Amino acid sequence: MSVNRGKWSSDFGFILAAAGSAIGLGNIWRFPYTVGQYGGGAFILVYLAFVALIGIPVLLAELSVGRSTERSAVGAFKKLVPNSWWPAVGGLGVLCGFGILSFYSVIAGWTLRYFYMALGGRFGDAMTSDESTQIFTELTANPTAAILLAAAFLVLTALVVRGGISGGIERAARVLMPVFLVILLLLVGRSVTLDGASEGFAFLFAFDFSKLSAAAVVSALGQALFSMSLGMGAMITYGSYLNRDDNVPKAAVTVAFFDTGLAMIAGLMIFPALFHAGASPTGGPSLIFIVMATIFNTMPFGSMFAIAFYGLLAIAALTSTISLLEVIVAYFVDEREWSRERATWVVTAACFALAVPSALSFGGSAFFTNMFGGTGFLGMANIVFGNYFLSIGAVLICVFVGWKWGIGNAVAELNRGGNLRAAAVWGALVRYVCPVAVAIVLIYAAFTGNYL
Ligand code: PHE
């Protein structure tokens, strides 16, 4: 067992790193296009309900398991119930982290390229939506560019993770998160004062429940878990580096609050801009890339805003890819006793291999683009790992804490250094509400065949 696993330097350091994990492309890329696809306000309400009733309880469950064991995803279960199949739940999480990181780094790679184009002043001139689509298509369909950009992003991630917990991950978060916040607020200020912004608000706050399909509800659940980095052991792993006297409930609520708040703020940044540009909100994964690129030239200092926006995306993505990589690296460090350096580079290389088909699924290869009925390799990885694995992982973690390890143990852990208010409510949510609600959503989706 490795003796020196590393620790956060304080609970504030943890909050920054965990918020960095939670706040990412999930908030700025996935949330807006999913809201767009499922029709706006009603989806958001369901999403918020899932954050409160499932997200926060699961976050507390993961953190309690992590801190009490001081082990990463697999080792934590091993330590609490040796010789059982429970560690497989952690194994599923490690696998899921691997799956998410592989496609996430492809999108993150695009942000690097857009950032570079913004630096060159590319978005300062008028750009029609056809031109913008063409830029996006040329970039994403270019196999070499897409693959190299994903590789570059993975290497950036690895350079931070190899530095360890307080010296690598926390240090990066301390610099990146404040920069992120300042840029985002600047951009929102710009977006909400554009002509046409009110249509964007109307879309976000119109509660048309007729648009809520089973697929929308599954996606809202998947999105809540994805956005809070739950269901795959990231928060078990990050929780394992907490100090004994850190206030976990308070840290958890702070992270949840920031993550959800920033998804809403990202909505307020994207939708007014979208309606201002007269674009349709249903554009899917390419939404923010294609639409945002056309509006910078309509703003004073547009080139600067473009640099800020793509820089923001890259930063948000980086603090999240760091946590994804850390889940896998921590497994090899804790369970296989690899050095952090070796684990980092081996995992990064393996992840790169799985990133290749995702990088080729936007036209780079017809095979990977058209597979799964046109969903493509990346689209499928996003759904399978980003919705289903996380949902199943969340149920299993709740069942574990609620029925196997025990609410009493978890509450005692959460009260060490903190004070879990409404512990009975939390217990009931973890034991009954979360597993049942998630199971219903999954079964319903499977039966209606409405799961994509
Ligand atoms: N929460 C991250 C985001 O919103 C993605 C993520 C998911 C990170 C799962 C870690 C674990 O972008």
24 secondary structure, DSSP code: S
- CA distances, 12 to each of 151, 171, 243, 389 (Å): 31, 12, 11, 30
Nearest Cα to Cα of residue 136 among 12, 294, 319, 311: 294
User: Ligand 1 atom closest to Cα of 24?
Assistant: 12
User: Ligand 1 atom closest to Cα of 324?
Assistant: 10
pLDDT at 288: 85
pLDDT at 368: 92
Give the tokens for residue 30.
């996935």
Q: Tell me the CA–centroid distance for residue 194 and ligand 1, in Å.
A: 30
Residue stretches of the chain with pLDDT short of 70: 1-3, 449-452
CB 158 within 8 A of CB 348: yes
pLDDT at 322: 96
Q: Tell me the CA–centroid distance for residue 229 and ligand 1, in Å.
A: 4
298 secondary structure, DSSP code: G
- CA distances, 348 to each of 154, 323, 343, 389 (Å): 6, 13, 8, 21
- 3-state secondary structure at position 65: helix
Residue 133 one-letter amino acid: T
Q: Where are the domains of the chain?
A: 11-448
Q: Residue 371: what are its φ and ψ, rounded to 5°?
A: -65, 165
Nearest Cα to Cα of residue 311 among 327, 296, 326, 297: 296
Any idea what the Cα angle at residue 243 is, between residues 339 and 328, rounded to 5°?
A: 35
Residue 7 one-letter amino acid: K
| Pocket perturbation via mutation, ligand 1, pick of 229, 322, 397 by most ligand atoms within 8 A of CB | 229
> What's the maximum distance between 2 C-alpha atoms anywhere in the chain?
63
Phi-psi region of 288 (alpha: psi -120 to 50; beta: other; left: phi over 0): alpha
**Signed CA dihedral, 316, 452, 375, 271: sign only:** negative
pLDDT at 62: 98
pLDDT at 452: 52
Q: Say how far apart CA 375 and CA 289 lie, in whole Å.
A: 19
Q: Tell me the CA–centroid distance for residue 26 and ligand 1, in Å.
A: 6
Q: Tell me the CA–centroid distance for residue 196 and ligand 1, in Å.
A: 31
Which residues form the pocket of ligand 1, taking CB atoms under 6 Å from any ligand atom? 21-22, 24-27, 100, 226-227, 229, 232, 234, 320, 323-324
Q: Say how far apart CA 343 and CA 329 lie, in whole Å.
A: 5
Q: Say how far apart CA 351 and CA 128 lie, in whole Å.
A: 36
Q: Say how far apart CA 25 and CA 42 lie, in whole Å.
A: 22
At which residue do the structure tokens 């949902």 appear?
391
Q: Say how far apart CA 155 and CA 145 lie, in whole Å.
A: 15
At which residue do the structure tokens 């309880």 appear?
57
pLDDT at 72: 94
Nearby residues of 368 by Cβ (< 8 Å), 6 or more positions away = 357, 358, 360, 361, 376, 377, 378
pLDDT tens digits for range 194-232: 888 898 888 888 888 887 888 888 889 989 999 999 999
pLDDT at 2: 46
At which residue do the structure tokens 């290749």 appear?
356
pLDDT tens digits for range 377-425: 999 998 899 888 999 999 999 999 999 999 999 999 999 999 998 999 9
Which parts of 128-244 fold into alpha helices (H)?
A: 129-141, 143-161, 171-192, 197-205, 214-227, 234-239
| The CATH number of the domain covering residues in 11-448 | 1.20.1740
